[in-house]
Structure formats: C-alpha cells, structure tokens
C-alpha cells in the first residue's frame, strides 16, 4: 500500500485562503513550520506559478522594542517582506487557543504600533542576514530574486530595497496577518473592519486546514468545486445587481448597498485591493471603470448620509441651474433622526413630503418649488432667490401654483419673497 502524502490545498475566497480539511488536529508548531517553509501561502492566490516567490522570511520570534534603542519587549511569530518592501507581521494561532479572538487583535495592534515607531530597518536587515546565514543563502541574491533583478546590480538593488523597508515602516505601511487553522467569525469581522480603518496598513486573515490524500490533482479539483459550492450556498456576490445599483449613482455605491448585492466587507476589501473598486471614503465605493459624473460630490454626500437623505437648498439650485450660487458645501436634508454633521456637508434636519422629492440625474433631490422655499427661508441673498424663481418659471421647471403652495407651507420670508417675485413677474407680463 502506498504511503499517503500530506497535501495543502487552497482556493481564493473573501480575501483569505481557505483549505480543505479532514478535521485532523493541527498544532501551532506545525503551522509555524509550514509557513516558514512555504511563505507563498501568504500570496492569497495572487502570483502566477512561474513568477518568483513574492515573500522572503526575515525570521521567527522577531523582537519588537517599546522605546527608542530599548530592549525587546514582544516577540512576533514571523516577519516576512514582499516585493514592495512592506513588512508583513504574522501571528500564528490555532482555534483551540483562547487568544484567537479579541486578545490576538489587541496584541497585533500593539506590535504594529511600536514597530512603526521604534523598529530600525538596520535591525531587521541584520536579522535577515542571520536567517540567510543559517540557511546557507546569499542575502543579496535573495533580494534580487524577490524583486526580479538579474545582472550585476544586485548590491545596488539590495541597499535600495532596505531604504524602501525603512520608508514603509515610517509611513506605517505594514501588513498584519492572522494565520490559523480556523478564523472565527468574530475575528473575521474584526479583520475586515480594521482593514477598512487602518489607512496605509493592511489587515489579513489566512485560514488553513490539513487534508491528507494520495492524489493531489483530485484534491485541487475538489477544492475548486467545493469553493464554488460554498459561494453558491452563501448567495455569492451578484455583480449584475451591484452594477444596476451603481449605474444609477454615477458608479458609486455604499457598503450597505454592496451588502445587498452579496458583497461583504471582506469581498469589498478584496475587490478594492484587486483594483476593481475604489474606496473613496468610509462606507462609499466606486466602480473604477465607470464614467465620471459632474455631480460626483453630490452622490458621495447622499451615500455618506444614508438612504433617506435628499440633496437640497443651494446644492439643488446648482443641479437645476437656476441661480449663480456656488455652494462651498453640499446641502443635504435628512429626517430629524438623521446622522450628525460631516465635513464638507451641510445637514438640514426637516421632514419632506413625498411630493417634495424627485429623482434627477440619479439623485433624490427636492423639487424646484421646495428648493426655492428652503433657500429663501434659510437666508440666501434676496437677488439670488428672485433669480431662481424667474429662471425656474422661464425654463418650465415649476409653476406659480407649486410656488404658491410652498409659500403657504413655509410662510415667513419664503412666502414674502415668492409672493413679491410672482407679483412683479405678473406686472412685467402685462
């Protein structure tokens, strides 16, 4: 009987690598050893088989100081570097370890915070040279292979590479990776959230299971089929649905709308990293190849303030092109239960009747009559209000009856300006 071969089989799913399993127990020691020997496990299926390895091991149990020139206070399981000279901090845990949820996240953030501030690249380079010496490898050649440089420029590339390492550390461009036999849902959600919030840093999770079989090819085919099955069972992302949503919004969509189309935080992050989506602000994305819109700032404001927000006041006037006002902020009306003030957005809390909202250019916007009443009441210059009334009537965007109804509803300055301007217009037409 042939001896069974131990295989590690993966497929790309939700920006993490998932693995087939026969539920065999895996220890942290096994996982650590596996990652040391096969750093390409961190590639997330991005590299082609014939490309040079995208990762090099700096070392295991790397010390991190808590002060400038301070002693090593913490020890990181693994430190890798990629082609872009981005330090990749890896913590390895098994599902049986009680630290795999909140504790490991706090631990990793602590590592990253102090590494970005107190980690000299010279120390990392020294450790890398030591690792190469232990393995009988040439450090200059390893860096040259990593970046794909041949010829006599190896030493020049080597020194330039370590300068980039230093630049990345100072800029906080780090990659934090949780490597485990099972990523609990709570940790998966925290990783997805942190990846959205950490600016130049990236946060990943790699899940790996052990599978034993004597036919590797059969396992690879099974893994692909099972991946498709899992996506189908979970509903999977529906790009047609997402495109339908984004198409009516100048290519933009909110994270909540993405979730409606089956795009979780993890899938949104994966597609953003792959260059298919662009994250323009917290919770708002754009299809990168979608044609631009002259109302992009309005779409961003609407999506950023919730599904019940409506473009209004001076911003609505600019859409209708009935005045010379150039608002410095985007004006949005929301229900009285709406969100707080945001930078670049002027929020107005008020109740809008259904007949006071229309769709224009894909945007929910107050009607012309309601818009004019709003700007008149909020103190817009009298000449601009009068201009807006005359232009709207001339272009057929509203009627005197609609304006009068809004004057009755709003009262005060709005009613006064609307009545005076309509009266003057009647006199001019006689």
Mean pLDDT, residues 297-316 taken together: 89
What pLDDT was estimated at residue 306?
80
Task: Kindly give, in sequence order, each residue whose CB lies less than 8 Å from that of residue 283, ignoring residues fewer than 6 positions away.
Answer: 254, 255, 256, 303, 304
pTM for the predicted model, two decimal places: 0.48
- Model confidence at 216, pLDDT cuts 50, 70, 90, reads very low
Mean pLDDT of 266-280: 82
More confident residue, 403 or 187: 403
Q: Is residue 391 within 8 Å of 323, Cβ to Cβ?
A: yes
Residue 330: pLDDT above 90? yes
Average pLDDT over the chain, rounded to an integer: 77
Q: Taking residues 412-419, what's their average pLDDT?
A: 87
What residues are paired with 284 via a beta bridge?
254, 281
The 10s digit of each residue's pLDDT in 119-178 is 888 888 888 999 999 989 888 888 888 876 655 567 788 888 888 888 888 888 888 888
User: Is residue 236 scored above 80 in pLDDT?
Assistant: no
| Alpha carbon distances (Å) from 225 to 24, 183, 216, 220, 314 | 21, 21, 14, 9, 55
pLDDT of residue 77: 85
Domain ranges of the chain: 25-209, 237-287, 302-424
Q: Largest Cα–Cα distance in the chain? A: 107
pLDDT mean over 89-103:
74
pLDDT over 90 at 316, yes or no: yes
Query: In this predicted structure, which of 97-101, 186-190, 202-206, 235-239 has the lowest mean pLDDT?
Result: 97-101
What span, in angstroms and rounded, lies between the C-alpha atoms of 408 and 416?
10
What secondary structure does DSSP assign to 127-176, as a single string? HHHHHHHHHT--HHHHHHHHHT--SS-HHHHHHHHHHHHHHHHHTT--EE
Measured CA to CA, the distance from residue 420 to residue 182 in angstroms comes to: 72
């Amino acid at each position: 009987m042939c001896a069974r071969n131990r295989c590690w089989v993966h497929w790309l799913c939700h920006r993490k690598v998932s693995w087939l399993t026969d539920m065999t127990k895996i220890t942290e020691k096994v996982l650590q050893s596996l990652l040391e020997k096969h750093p390409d496990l961190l590639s997330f299926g991005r590299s082609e088989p014939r490309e040079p390895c995208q990762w090099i091991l700096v070392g295991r149990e790397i010390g991190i100081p808590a002060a400038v020139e301070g002693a090593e206070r913490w020890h990181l399981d693994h430190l890798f570097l990629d082609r872009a000279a981005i330090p990749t901090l890896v913590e390895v845990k098994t599902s049986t370890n009680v630290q795999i949820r909140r504790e490991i996240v706090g631990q990793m953030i602590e590592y990253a915070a102090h590494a970005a501030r107190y980690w000299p690249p010279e120390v990392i380079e020294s450790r890398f040279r030591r690792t190469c010496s232990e393995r009988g490898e040439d450090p200059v050649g390893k860096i040259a292979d990593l970046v794909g440089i041949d010829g006599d420029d190896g030493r020049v590339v080597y020194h330039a590479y370590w300068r980039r390492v230093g630049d990345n550390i100072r800029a906080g461009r780090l990659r934090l990776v949780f490597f485990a036999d099972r990523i609990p849902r709570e940790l998966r959600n925290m990783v997805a959230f942190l990846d959205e919030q950490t600016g130049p840093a990236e946060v990943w999770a790699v899940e790996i299971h052990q599978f034993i079989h004597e036919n590797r090819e059969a396992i690879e085919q099974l893994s692909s089929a099972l991946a498709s099955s899992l996506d189908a069972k979970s509903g999977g992302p529906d790009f047609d649905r997402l495109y339908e949503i984004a198409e009516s919004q100048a290519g933009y969509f909110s994270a909540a709308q993405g979730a409606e189309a089956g795009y979780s935080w993890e899938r949104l992050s994966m597609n953003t990293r792959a260059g298919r989506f662009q994250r323009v602000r917290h919770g708002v994305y754009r299809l990168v190849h979608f044609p631009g819109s002259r109302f992009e700032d309005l779409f961003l404001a609407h999506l950023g303030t919730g599904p019940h927000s409506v473009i209004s006041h001076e911003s609505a006037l600019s859409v209708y092109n009935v005045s010379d006002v150039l608002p410095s902020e985007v004006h949005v009306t929301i229900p009285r239960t709406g969100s707080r003030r945001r930078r670049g957005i002027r929020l107005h809390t008020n109740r809008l009747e259904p007949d006071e909202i229309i769709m224009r250019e894909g945007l929910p916007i107050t009607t012309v009559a309601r818009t004019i009443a709003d700007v008149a009441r909020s103190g817009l210059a009298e000449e601009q209000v009068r201009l807006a009334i005359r232009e709207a009537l001339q272009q057929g965007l509203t009627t005197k009856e609609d304006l009068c109804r809004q004057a009755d509803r709003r009262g005060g300055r709005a009613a006064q300006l609307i009545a005076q301007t309509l009266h003057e217009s009647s006199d001019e037409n006689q």
